[in-house]
Amino acid sequence: MTAITVELPDDLREFIETKVQRGEFASVNQYIAALVQSARDTESSY
């Protein structure tokens, strides 16, 4: 697995952390991975 550092504005970080706190994702990393997977899935459906 490869690590990538991502810089986000505070409001976006807070948005993701809220989703994690609500139990929608296990971690910030899981949220970002799901976002990228969704983008890849959408692209491959064209």
pLDDT, position 46: 74
pLDDT, position 18: 98
pLDDT, position 11: 98
pLDDT, position 39: 96
pLDDT, position 44: 85
Q: What is the pTM of this model?
A: 0.82
Quickly list DSSP for 1-46.
Answer: ---------HHHHHHHHHHHHTTSSSSHHHHHHHHHHHHHHHHHT-
Walk along the chain (46 residues) and give the pLDDT tens digit of each residue. Answer: 899 999 999 999 999 999 999 999 999 999 999 999 999 999 887 7
